[in-house]
């Protein structure tokens, strides 16, 4: 039971539009990668945020780290967030803090270790992710490159040693070598830390073989598959059309 | 005719209700922020403490040159002239205590705080909200009430009291000094007379007034900063509202205290 980090029972996201999504039930286990794929980014982010508890549910029950999200008050919700990290497309760094202060802030705030230890852990993570130009860590995010800011967001998310990491289209703006490097880095965290990753992606070729759950979402279809083979066997026309677009056979 | 009366009463009623709603919102907002702060096991954890100290440095210490300049001018214009105008020492001391210490000091300190700090807080929080930095903090499990709001409100409150004390002392001291040097050395006696004329109840009102001014300036600035939603144009709009509402609030509090003192 402790290995189940997310337990979703017949959940579907509430939406501002008239769209009604088919419900989904799944368990997300420790050390797993769950990919949310599909033709529309709106549906993918909606499902990602619903599984994270950030988006309201139209129906169903969601248990995050053994806690039912409907029963959490504000303080309990905030308390849960230091075990769950989320990096969205528009996740921001604090503009008034240096890159290093940004990285250390959540761990210091939650008093996970003393300052020196957190700084050492940040250094290790920055080396592992391949952060170049460490002298920039004393600068504000506005003076760093987009890639440096990007890596800082990932390291800041991991410095608290989360059990769950939610990523919204992480690989989209990266070159292929950076994608491979980041993929390897995150794979290592899944294996070594027991981290579970839930991600949306357009770059499905890069992730589909790694995934332990694949959720296909579109306005009319919500389907769960355990691996690439299961997905390829699907008779659903919209899934077939989507896969052929990416030349996945 | 009936329509006109309806329009007037309708407008005034709606204006009153809007203001009342605003006040309730504001008090609830600041109460929740301060409650979360005081509920902490350690009131002054590293980050809240850092925010509080930064706020006091920016609002209080950095404002001292401006306050010093204004206090010296006011000392010359008001204190010096009042001492020169009135013969009775007792009356002069009473007037100076009431006008400078109870009215001018808190009001000028408040206006300086609103223009320097209140506007800066609204712009700062507004931009943080606009650029989703606040959302990022909450997603990291950081309570913005404890981390951002309460330290700012408390910082402004402490600064208001401090710069008001500083302003009042410099204004009175400069005026008496100038009178002693330019008019007659006997006026130096006002130094001791002012101290003995400062009764406990006046000090109490002075402290309460400044604490209320500071609390409302900080709360209004934070409240309007967090009301920025998605558009950059909302930052100047909310800043302007914060400044106007803060100034109005100072006069309202001042008026209420004046009535209570009668």
- The answer to whether B83 touches B190, Cβ cutoff 8 Å, is yes
Residue with tokens 């890159």: A99
Position B90 scores a pLDDT of 85
Find the range with the poorest average confidence among A73-82, B149-158, B200-209, B211-220: A73-82
Mean pLDDT, residues A183-211: 87
Within its chain, how far is the Cα of A181 from the centroid?
17
Give domain status of residue B106, yes or no: yes
b/e burial code for range A78-104 (CB count within 10 A of at least 16 → b): bebbbbbbbbbeebbbbeeebbbebbb
A91/B142 Cβ within 8 A: no
Give domain status of residue B64, yes or no: yes
How many angstroms separate the CA atoms of B247 and B116, rounded? 13
Give domain status of residue B12, yes or no: no
Contacts A73 to B, Cβ<8 Å: none
Please report which helix (H) or strand (E) contains residue A115, including its range: helix A115-129
B143/A105 Cβ within 8 A: no
B127/A95 Cβ within 8 A: yes
How many other β-carbons are positioned within 10 Å of the β-carbon of residue B7?
10
Position A2 scores a pLDDT of 63
Our CA-based measurement puts residue A114 at a distance from the nearest CA of chain B, in whole angstroms, of 11
In angstroms, what is the C-alpha Rg of chain A? Answer: 18
How many other β-carbons are positioned within 10 Å of the β-carbon of residue B38?
10
Position B164 scores a pLDDT of 95
Please report which helix (H) or strand (E) contains residue A225, including its range: strand A222-225
Domains in chain B: how many in total? 1
- The answer to whether B224 touches B241, Cβ cutoff 8 Å, is yes
- B39 pLDDT more than 90: no
Written as six digits, the tokens of A231 are 């997905």
Contacts B136 to A, Cβ<8 Å: 91-94
Contact of B120 with chain A, judged by CB distance below 8 Å, is answered with no
Our CA-based measurement puts residue A58 at a distance from the nearest CA of chain B, in whole angstroms, of 22
pLDDT, one tens digit per residue, over B4-14 is 888 888 888 88
Give me the percent of chain B exceeding a pLDDT of 90. Answer: 58
A82/B141 Cβ within 8 A: yes
Q: Which domain holds residue B241?
A: 50-261
Position B42 scores a pLDDT of 61
**Out of A54, A95, A108, closest to residue B133 by CB:** A95
Q: What is the mean pLDDT of chain B?
A: 90
Chain B nearest-CA residue for A102: B137
Tell me the pTM. 0.86
Written as six digits, the tokens of B96 are 């100076």
pLDDT, one tens digit per residue, over B77-133 is 888 888 888 878 888 888 888 899 899 999 999 999 999 999 999 999 999 999 999
- Best probe of the B interface among A53, A55, A81, by most B CBs < 10 A, is A81
Give domain status of residue B135, yes or no: yes
Contact of A76 with chain B, judged by CB distance below 8 Å, is answered with no
Instruction: Give the HSE-up count for residue B87: Cα atoms under 13 Å, Cβ half-sphere.
Output: 0
Position B44 scores a pLDDT of 57
Give domain status of residue B145, yes or no: yes
Contact pairs from chain A to chain B, CB under 8 Å:
55
Give domain status of residue B29, yes or no: no
Mean pLDDT, residues B239-256: 96
**Residue A15 contacts by C-beta under 8 Å, 6 or more apart in sequence?**
A21, A46, A58
Chain A nearest-CA residue for B131: A92
Q: What is the torsion angle, in degrees rounded to the nearest 10, for the CA atoms of residue B212, residue B213, residue B216 and residue B220?
A: 180
How many angstroms separate the CA atoms of A211 and A183, rounded? 12
User: Three-class SS string for B79-132?
Assistant: HHHHHHHCCCHHHHHHHHHHHHHHHHHHHHHHHHHHHHHHHHHHHHHHHHHHCC
The predicted complex's ipTM stands at 0.87
How many angstroms separate the CA atoms of A158 and A175, rounded? 22
How many angstroms separate the CA atoms of A94 and A73, rounded? 26
- Best probe of the A interface among B41, B48, B139, B225, by most A CBs < 10 A, is B139
B139/A91 Cβ within 8 A: yes
How many angstroms separate the CA atoms of A86 and B103, rounded? 51
Mean pLDDT, residues B130-144: 93
Give domain status of residue B199, yes or no: yes
Q: What is the DSSP track for A62-98?
A: EEETTEEGGG--HHHHHHHTTSEEEE-TT----TTS-
Give domain status of residue B208, yes or no: yes
């Amino acid at each position: 039971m402790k290995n189940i980090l997310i337990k979703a029972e017949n959940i579907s996201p509430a939406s501002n539009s008239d769209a009604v999504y088919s419900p989904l039930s799944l368990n997300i286990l420790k050390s797993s990668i769950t990919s949310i794929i599909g033709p529309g980014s709106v549906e993918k982010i909606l499902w990602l945020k619903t599984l994270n508890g950030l988006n309201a549910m139209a129906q169903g029950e969601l248990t995050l780290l053994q806690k039912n999200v409907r029963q959490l008050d504000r303080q309990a919700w905030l308390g849960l967030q230091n075990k769950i990290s989320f990096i969205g497309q528009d996740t921001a760094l604090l503009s008034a803090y240096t890159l290093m202060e940004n990285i250390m802030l959540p761990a210091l705030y939650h008093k996970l270790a003393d300052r020196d230890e957190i700084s050492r852990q940040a250094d290790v993570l920055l080396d592992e992710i391949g952060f170049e130009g460490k002298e920039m860590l004393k600068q504000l995010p506005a003076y760093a490159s987009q890639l440096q800011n990007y890596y800082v967001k990932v390291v800041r998310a991991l410095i608290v040693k989360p059990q769950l990491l939610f990523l919204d289209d992480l690989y989209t703006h990266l070159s292929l070598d950076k994608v491979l490097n980041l993929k390897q880095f995150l794979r290592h965290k899944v294996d070594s830390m027991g981290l579970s990753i839930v991600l949306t992606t357009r770059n499905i070729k890069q992730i589909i073989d790694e995934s332990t759950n694949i959720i296909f979402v579109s306005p009319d279809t919500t389907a769960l598959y355990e691996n690439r083979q299961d997905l390829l066997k699907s008779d659903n026309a919209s899934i077939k059309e989507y896969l052929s677009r990416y030349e996945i056979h | 005719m009936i329509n006109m009366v309806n329009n007037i009463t309708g407008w005034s009623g709606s204006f009153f209700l809007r203001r009342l709603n605003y006040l309730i919102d504001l008090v609830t907002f600041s109460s929740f922020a301060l409650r979360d702060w005081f509920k902490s096991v350690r009131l002054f954890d590293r980050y809240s403490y850092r925010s509080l100290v930064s706020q006091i440095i920016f609002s209080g210490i950095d404002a001292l040159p401006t306050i010093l300049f204004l206090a010296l001018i006011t000392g010359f214009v008001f204190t010096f002239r009042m001492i020169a105008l009135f013969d009775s020492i007792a009356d002069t001391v009473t007037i100076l205590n009431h006008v400078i210490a109870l009215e001018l000091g808190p009001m000028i300190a408040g206006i300086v705080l609103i223009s320097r700090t209140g506007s800066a807080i609204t712009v700062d929080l507004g931009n943080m909200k606009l650029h989703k930095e606040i959302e990022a903090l909450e997603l990291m499990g950081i309570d913005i009430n404890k981390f951002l709001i309460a330290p700012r409100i408390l910082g402004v409150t402490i600064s208001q009291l401090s710069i008001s004390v500083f302003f009042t002392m410099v204004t009175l001291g400069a005026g008496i000094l100038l009178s002693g040097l330019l008019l007659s050395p006997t006026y130096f006696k006002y130094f001791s007379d002012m101290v003995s004329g400062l009764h406990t109840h006046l000090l109490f009102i002075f402290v309460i007034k400044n604490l209320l001014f500071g609390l409302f300036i900080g709360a209004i600035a934070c409240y309007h900063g967090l009301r920025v939603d998605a558009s950059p144009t909302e930052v100047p709009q909310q800043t302007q509202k914060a400044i106007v509402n803060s100034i109005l609030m100072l006069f309202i509090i001042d008026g209420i205290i004046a009535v209570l003192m009668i």
